[in-house]
Structure 1
Amino acid sequence: MVRNPQRRAALVDAAIEVLAREGARGLTFRAVDAEAAVPAGTASNYFADRDTLFTQAGGRIYERLQPEPAHIAESLKGPRDRARVTELMRELVDRVSAYRSGYLALLELRLEATRRPELRAVLTRRIRADVDANIAYHLDSGLPGDATTVVLLYLAMNWLIVERLTLPDIFPEERIHDLVTEVVERVLPPDPPGRPDARR
């Protein structure tokens, strides 16, 4: 068993790039070796089959999408109001959009998961955990809204990112943050006057 975690991570990152550029059908061991600039046969030494490569890529994308702990701590400073939620959603859309290849690869993986039960199980667990973590973070931090608020924002922001990355001419770039603001303002009611936790 090959046990070089750095090489494995580099191969999975290469697989993500191949997925984003070539789609699921283009994800072969040979394509991953070429993308990672390693000798032919390297990827097949690390992954038993393409199914393993798909599932590893799905997990790795979410690792790379996670914000740094320092950033999370910084986001808890200041008021806990609708304006803060808007700021957080704008940052989320920008951060995820910046990892374009990862998000496009994730879309490919979601489609492939309709045909691969093991990949579907991996993505379901990972995405469910991500949604639950976002709900817990939102509620524990004292931000306005409830669990349904988080789910609605999750759905809206994800589709906005899809549009931004796949059909950018539908909503011009200069409108993206305005659309985020509009979504938050429609999902969350205005801050009540004198809300006690709005200035924590």
Structure 2
Amino acid sequence: MTYLRRFGLVPPLAAVSLASCGLNSVPTSEEKVNAAWANLQADYQRRNDLVGNLVQTVKAAAKQESTVLVGVAEARSRATQVQLAPTDLSNPSKVQQFANAQQAVSNSIRPLLGPMIQERYPELKSLNNFSMLQDQLEGTENRILVSRRDYNTAVQDYNTRIRTFPDAIGAKIFYGAKPKVPFQAAAGSENAPKVDFGN
């Protein structure tokens, strides 16, 4: 030990041992999870904004679709009431509640996407605003899927880091780190939606 002190090797050895136990890598990994979560929230907010515009556009052109529009508006309203802070990402029930609310919005806008509504209501084909919003909404749904995948990748990296040696030492001792909850597919999402116009 006196040999190490004499040559000033104690501080560098201490720094190396602390660095190898997750002192820096655990918070860096957690920040990646939080950043991915913020991106996902931004995509959900974009969708909520677009849904509001889409509902108003369709409402002006298709008053007969009031039940679909009411369902979309109600689902959107419920989804915006369910909030999930980064501190809640370790709570499976809160993550699931948030995911369910967002899935309800996705389910309610399905009748407004794709050719089925244009086939049933040809007058909507002439609405440039409707087509533009429809394209943006489809793009946003794709962005949400990518953001969810990015979030799940960040969560997987973080959860692996806090459970494996040597980072697990720093994760437990210094941060009391808990695993984050990834998004899972909603129940029944493996089934294609049934399209029925009551004909």
**TM-score by shorter chain over 0.5:** no
Over alpha carbons, which structure has the higher Rg?
2
State TM-score, norm by structure 1: 0.31
TM-score, structure 2 normalization: 0.31
